[in-house]
C-alpha cells in the first residue's frame, strides 16, 4: 500500500484509535504509542478499513486487545498509576464506581474485554458480541462469571 493511501486511512481512523487507547490507557504518551501499534496491526487487514460498518468494530477489537495487553504488562512492571477505569453505568452485581486493575487482572484476556465493554464502555451484550466477534451467549456467560468472582474478591478484600 502506498504512503498516500496509508496517510488517508490514518487520518480517517486514527482519531477513533487514539480515543480508544486514551480511554483505556489514560495517558496521552502511552495512547500515542499504542495508536501507532494498533494502526499498524489494523493495516494487516486493509479490507476491513474500507467502511465504517467494518472498520469501527475491527478497530475497537484490535485497540481493546492491544491496550488491555499493555495494561497487563504495565501491571507486571508495577506501573499501577492511572490504571483503574471508570464504570460507565451502574450494574446491580457490580456496585463499584471504578473497575480496578487488580480485579481486572484476575481474569483472562477475553473476559477482561467483555467486562470493559459492558461496564466501562456501557455497551449492550449484543454490541459487545458484535465488536469482539464472539457470541452473545459467550458474553453473558463470561460476564456472569466475572461479576460473581469479582464480587467475591471484593468482599474478601474488604473483610
Partner 1 sequence: MSHPSDLKLERHLLDPGQSQIGDHVSGCELCQGRLLAMRQQGEDFRRFVYPATLDEVSRPRWRPRQALWLLAPAAGLATVLLVTRPGPPADYVGTKGQPLELTVYVARDSSAHALADGESVPASASLRMRVHAASPCKLAVFSLDGNGESSNLYASPDRVSGAFELPGTVRLDGKVGPERIFAVCEAPKGPLEEAIRRVAGDREEGVRHNATLSDVEFRQTSVLIEKTP
Sites of contact with partner 1 (CB under 8 A): 3, 6-7, 10-11, 14-16, 18-20, 22-23, 28, 32, 35-37, 39-41, 43-45, 52, 56-57, 60, 65, 69, 72-73, 76, 88-89, 106-111, 113, 121-124, 127, 131-134, 138
Closer by beta carbon to partner 1, 16 or else 100: 16
User: Is residue 31 within 8 Å of residue 18, measured between CB atoms?
Assistant: yes
Whole-angstrom distance, CA of residue 22 vs CA of residue 70? 12
Reading the block at residue 49, the C-alpha cell is 478499513
Closer by beta carbon to partner 1, 57 or else 84: 57
Across the chain, where does the E strand assignment appear? Answer: 85-86, 98-99
DSSP assignment letter at 121:
S
Reading the block at residue 137, the C-alpha cell is 451467549
Q: Could you tell me the smallest distance in angstroms from the CB atom of residue 159 to partner 1?
A: 21
Residues 80, 102, 110, 136: what is their CA dihedral angle, to the nearest 10 degrees? -120
Q: Is 74 helix (H, G, I), strand (E, B) or coil?
A: helix
Q: Could you tell me the smallest distance in angstroms from the CB atom of residue 67 to partner 1?
A: 12
Closer by beta carbon to partner 1, 98 or else 141: 141
Closer by beta carbon to partner 1, 15 or else 95: 15
Q: Could you tell me the smallest distance in angstroms from the CB atom of residue 109 to partner 1?
A: 5
Amino acid at each position: 500500500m502506498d504512503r498516500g493511501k496509508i496517510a488517508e486511512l490514518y487520518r480517517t481512523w486514527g482519531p477513533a484509535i487514539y480515543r480508544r487507547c486514551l480511554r483505556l490507557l489514560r495517558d496521552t504518551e502511552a495512547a500515542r504509542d499504542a495508536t501507532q501499534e494498533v494502526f499498524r496491526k489494523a493495516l494487516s487487514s486493509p479490507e476491513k478499513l474500507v467502511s465504517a460498518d467494518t472498520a469501527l468494530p475491527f478497530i475497537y477489537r484490535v485497540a481493546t486487545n492491544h491496550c488491555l495487553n499493555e495494561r497487563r504488562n504495565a501491571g507486571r512492571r508495577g506501573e499501577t498509576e492511572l490504571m483503574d477505569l471508570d464504570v460507565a453505568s451502574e450494574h446491580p452485581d457490580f456496585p463499584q464506581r471504578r473497575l480496578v486493575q487488580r480485579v481486572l487482572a484476575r481474569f483472562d484476556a477475553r473476559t477482561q474485554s467483555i467486562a470493559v465493554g459492558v461496564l466501562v464502555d456501557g455497551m449492550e451484550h449484543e454490541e459487545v458480541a458484535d465488536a469482539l466477534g464472539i457470541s452473545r451467549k459467550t458474553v453473558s456467560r463470561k460476564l456472569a462469571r466475572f461479576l460473581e468472582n469479582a464480587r467475591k474478591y471484593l468482599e474478601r478484600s474488604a473483610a
